[in-house]
Structure 1
Amino acid sequence: MRYQLLGRSGLRVSEICLGTMTFGKEWGWGADKHESFKIFDAYAHAGGNFIDTANRYTEGSSEKYLGEFIEADRDHWVVGTKFTLKDRNGDLNFAGNHRKNMFRSVTNSLKRLNTDYIDLLWVHLWDNTTRVDEVLRGLDDLISRGMVHYIGISDTPAWIVSQSNAIADLRGWNAFTAIQFEYSLLQRTPERDLLPMSKALDLAVTPWGAIGGGALTGKYLRGEKGRVPDDSTRRNEKSGKIAQTVVDIADEMGVTPAQVAINWTRHRNQVMIPIIGASRSTQIQDSLGCLDFTLPEEMINRLNLASAIELGFPHEFLKSDGVKEEAFGGMFEKLINHRL
């Protein structure tokens, strides 16, 4: 395992993050406590130190299990948890990004994790209600009180993240150091805005869904059952062709499809730290095998071609020949070549 800085911070984290949404069986699937520890132990023995959980995962069992697993060496672990999602039905203030829910949720997470501090607190998703300055000031106060060390943001539009960090920098508040969103060969739309923004703002990217809920392992091509429903976009005709390409490349390289799919998400010129979950220890061991090889450029190109998307407006418009000619007077290619 190698390590990277978490975005604009000096925090050292492993190049794979362990996702623990599967720790607990309250949602009808996942791993019991014994198997959860085996997953955690396999990740620890591989050198991982970066763990992702949330206040709502398996109704709190994920945080409780994790608190027990890290207790013997708490300061070694970089633990990230989240707030936003409701954890009491029928009570409006037990959800959202406002200050009351933020402090309440963090206090309860600290109890479940049995720790004095959270290394990385994520805004789980944007609630489209709470003002940016209220969220940022609340997060900054949590850091000032020592309850949280760093902050990140998940599943939020690029313009809000950009606005947030600009405001934080202007007012001298702590800014987001990392961002989390779905990204895989089946979900490449973050390439339009979220990924370029992350690179420009020096945000570490921790993508989730790298294997498309299992679709990119080829299990559905083999007729196996899983949690992805038949009518999901992860199981349509195009997704099937992408999954088949992943399987073909895995066979050619002598590795597993999951390893190929995870490896692909890491091949960008910016900090990419995939969040990898498992419900069995054998699954996490298989996924960690993605660290043992590098995808050749020819394989990356095949995967890119099979999963290509349209970037849409304004990206397609700006790269059109007519716009380049009008904007640069025929000098565009010379300008680009000079920069390269």
Structure 2
Amino acid sequence: MATEISIVLGALAFGTRVDEAQSFDLLDQFTGLGGEWIDTANNYSWWLHDSGLGGQGETVIGNWLAKRPGMRERIRLSTKGGAEPTVPNGYPEHIEGLSGPALRNALAGSLERLQVESVDLYWAHVEDRSVSLEETVETLGGFVADGRVARLGASNHPAWRVAQARAIAAQRGLAGYSAMQLRWSYLQPLPGAALPQSGHVHASPETFDYVASTEGMRLWAYNTLIDGGYTRADRPLPEAYAHPGTARRLAVLDEVVAETGATRNQVVLAWIAGGPVPVSPIVGVTTAAQISEALGARDVRLTAGQRARLDAAA
């Protein structure tokens, strides 16, 4: 049975590397092709902005929505709080964290910049063990109770922490996490190898076991195309991926590319989304061609044999 592929638009570069006019064009193209989910964060993209602080992505999306009457009802918004620097360029030593006051301030700021009254999915962006899990859970559950957030997710959290948080929420009659967001792609880094992005947390077999066994839990994957590493000569794969398994996987990937007529990126997205544990791939884009390619993955149908070969190589 074919799995419907839900491609999420990653808006990390909007308002910085991609200016507002270009961002509007990309958002128009994405929604015009039937795209629905847009993912951002309150700290996107502090490292690309002269201020050393984030919020640019949310601001651009808010301005776009303000100029597109009726669009809010057609799309779903996902944003995050907890990792915005509290001083310019202060990440990771000086970030807001997941305390009650920090989260309330973060959500209020996100809603203001997005120019909306609520978001469809709100993520705790990074772990914060300096704050009790009970405080974080109660604060996030309150956002759902007051109608400003429809669902909650945990980004860059291990499965056991998500399970603990869900148990606390259930005991207190509060909404709990129903989504996890982690780094994941067809190619895999060596276990324990340092990734170029220090804040990234990689999904693991335990993650998939947990998602598969937890009713209502959904997995979102970021860095799915490894910053262009599958297709761009100017974007070589990070050193963490320099191992024999990468060559083996790429060989099988190219076989399937030849058989399907799709691109490497499209086959990767189809593989990610169509496995036994469905995953929503986030794709960061800066050009119209990238959106067309990514959404074209929705039409790629891997046969059982092709998936089995890709799975075996992986």
What range is the shorter-chain TM-score in? 0.7 to 0.9
- Other structure's SS at 2:84 match: coil
Supply the RMSD in Å over aligned alpha carbons.
Answer: 2.4
Q: CA deviation at 1:3?
A: 10
Query: Are the aligned partners of 2:260 and 2:300 in contact in 1 as well (CA < 8 Å)?
Result: no
Q: String of CA shifts for 1:152-171, please: whole Å, max 9, x gaps.
A: 11111111111111221122
Matched, 1:225 2:226: no
Q: Distance in 2 between matches of 1:23 and 1:144?
A: 30
- Cross-structure match for 2:60: 65
Aligned to 2:31: 44
Distance in 2 between the 1:289 and 1:102 partners? 37
Question: What does residue 41 of structure 2 align with?
Answer: 54
Q: Kindly state the Cα deviation for residue 225 of structure 1 after the two structures are TM-superposed.
A: 0.8
1:197 aligned residue? 210
Displacement after TM superposition at 1:241 (Å): 4.0
Aligned partner of 1:178 in structure 2 is: 179
Cα pair distance change 1:175/1:284, threshold 3 Å: same
CA distance in 2, matches of 1:235, 1:112: 41
CA contact (8 A) 2:153 2:178 kept: yes
Tell me the residue number matched to 1:296.
303
Aligned-residue offset at 1:43: 1.3
Name whichever of 154-163 and 142-151 sits farther off.
Answer: 142-151
CA apart distance, 1:34: 2.2
Deviation track 1:157-192 (CA, whole Å, cap 9, x = no partner) reads: 111111111221122111112111111112387342
Match of 2:192 in 1: none
Partner residue of 1:22? Answer: 13
CA displacement 1:203-230 (0-9 Å, x = unmatched)? 111111222222223x2xxxx212x5x6
For 2:96, the equivalent position in structure 1 comes to: 95
Residues 105 and 93 of structure 1: is their aligned pair in 2 closer, same or farther, counting only changes over 3 Å? farther
SS of equivalent residue, structure 1 residue 40:
helix
CA contact (8 A) 1:216 1:261 kept: no
Q: Give CA-to-partner distance per residue, 1:123-161, whole Å, 9 cap, x none.
A: 112122222111110011222232222211111111111
d(CA) in 2 for partners of 1:255, 1:231: 24
Matches within 5 A, 1:76-115: 76-89=74-87, 94-115=95-116
Q: Deviations along 1:275-334, whole A, 9 cap, x unmatched?
A: 122111110110111111211122212222222xxxxxxxxxxxxxxxxxxxxxxxxxxx
**Displacement of 1:122 after TM fit?**
0.3
Contact 1:215 1:243 in 2 (8 A): no
Q: In the alignment, which residue of structure 1 is the partner of 2:254?
A: 247
Query: Alpha carbons of 1:196 and 1:305: their partners in 2 closer, same or farther (altered >3 Å)?
Result: same
> Looking at CA atoms only, which structure, 1 or 2, has the larger radius of gyration?
1
User: Could you tell me how far 1:35 is from its partner in structure 2?
Assistant: 2.1
User: 1:39-86 CA distances to partner (integer Å, 9 max, x unpaired)?
Assistant: 211210121221110001122111111112223222332101001113
| Inter-CA distance 231–67: structure 2 relative to 1 (3 Å threshold) | closer
Partner of 2:193: none
SS of equivalent to 1:96: coil
Instruction: Report the Cα distance in structure 2 between the residues aligned to 1:106 and 1:190, rounded to whole angstroms.
Output: 26
Question: Which residue is 2:49 aligned to?
Answer: none
Which has the larger share of helix?
1
Q: In 1, Cα distance between the equivalents of 2:170 and 2:278?
A: 21
Residues 269 and 302 (structure 1 numbering): CA distance in 2 closer, same or farther, change over 3 Å? Answer: closer
Residue identity matched to 2:254: V
CA distance, structure 2, for counterparts of residue 24 and residue 232 of structure 1: 30
The alignment partner of 2:210 has SS state of: helix
Return the offset for 1:248.
3.3
Letter of the 1:55 counterpart: N
- Contact kept, 8 Å, 2:12 with 2:284, in 1: the verdict is yes
Equivalent position of 1:33 in the other structure: 20
The DSSP-based 3-state class of the residue aligned with 2:128 is coil
Contact 2:220 2:282 in 1 (8 A): yes
CA contact (8 A) 1:122 1:151 kept: yes
Aligned twin of 1:216: 230
Matched pairs, number: 286
Inter-partner Cα distance in structure 2 for 1:269 and 1:253: 21
Q: Is the 8 A contact 1:15 1:274 kept in 2?
A: yes
Contact 1:233 1:239 (C-alpha < 8 Å) held by counterparts = no
TM norm structure 1: 0.77
1:158 aligns with 2:162: no
Could you tell me how far 1:232 is from its partner in structure 2?
2.5
Q: CA deviation at 1:260?
A: 0.4
